[in-house]
């Protein structure tokens, strides 16, 4: 059990990468708060996991929701050791000037502001435990951006920079901060990334990935497990590209 005795919060955990992370963490011995804007979906995943999980309906861009999510986890399990900022949002693949201001704001609220709010809520709890790990699901979009996703790309570039800066600042508190950069994956946002979901467009996207497939939840979950594992306690500020070679 690589996470025996650990307590984790995973946002965006009702589906996709987040669900895979929450389930793997629980199998490896962690207690998990399954958090998502989709409260029923979070409840369903927590029920699948069983007694090792609680659920929280939370908008990660809302400070009250984030504080309540962390408080519920502390009340249930005694603290927080791992915070996975996995919830994400994107605009549809389109010319940058066609994206609305409301869409832009929501992208940066979910993909960037949420990291700020999570840090404000969990860092004090991690300090009580003598340290911890914060992991953000960023994206290859922040490293090798695709046309048509400019504002999303920018939000993930910010997440990567925040990861590195937070890692330095929080190191004296024994809090590690890392990120995962998945390539486009089989999640609910895939159609938005591509603009349209057709066999021809899928083939074109997959053609940019040397290993020849989209990412899967298990790919990202395995990376998140590695980063949360105490055996990785000398790793901080790193961004693991889970991308089948896309960023080469």
**63, 65, 83, 216, 232 from 115: Cα distances, Å:** 11, 13, 10, 23, 21
- Out of 17, 89, 108, 152, the active site residue is 152
Among residues 125, 27, 45, 115, which one has the least CA distance to residue 77? 125
Cβ-based neighbours of 221, under 8 Å, separated by 6 or more: 17, 20, 21, 23, 24
* DSSP one-letter string for 172-228: GGTEEEEEEEEPSBSSTTHHHHHSS--HHHHHHHHTTSTTSS-B-HHHHHHHHHHHH
To the query of whether residue 152 is one of the catalytic residues in this protein, the response is yes
Catalytic residues: 152
């Amino acid at each position: 059990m690589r996470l025996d005795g650990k307590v984790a919060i995973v946002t965006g955990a009702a589906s996709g990468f987040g669900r895979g992370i929450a389930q793997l963490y629980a199998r490896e011995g962690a207690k998990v708060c399954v958090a998502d804007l989709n409260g029923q979906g979070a409840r369903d995943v927590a029920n699948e996991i069983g007694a090792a999980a609680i659920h929280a309906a939370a908008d990660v861009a809302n400070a009250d929701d984030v504080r309540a999510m962390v408080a519920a986890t502390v009340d249930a399990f005694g603290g927080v050791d791992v915070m996975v900022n996995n919830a994400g949002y994107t605009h549809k693949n389109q010319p940058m000037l066609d994206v609305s201001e409301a869409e832009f704001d929501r992208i940066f609220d979910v993909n960037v502001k949420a990291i700020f709010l999570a840090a404000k809520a969990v860092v004090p709890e991690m300090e009580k435990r003598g340290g911890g790990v914060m992991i953000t699901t960023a994206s290859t979009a922040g490293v090798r951006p695709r046309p048509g996703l400019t504002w999303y790309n920018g939000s993930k570039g910010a997440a990567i920079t925040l990861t590195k800066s937070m890692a330095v600042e929080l190191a004296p508190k024994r809090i590690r901060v890392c990120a995962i950069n998945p390539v486009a994956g089989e999640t609910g946002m895939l159609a938005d990334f591509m603009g349209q979901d057709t066999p021809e467009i899928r083939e074109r996207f997959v053609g940019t990935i040397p290993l020849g497939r989209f990412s899967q939840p298990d790919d990202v979950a395995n990376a998140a497990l590695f980063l949360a594992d105490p055996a990785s306690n000398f790793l901080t500020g790193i961004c693991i590209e889970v991308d089948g070679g896309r960023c080469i």
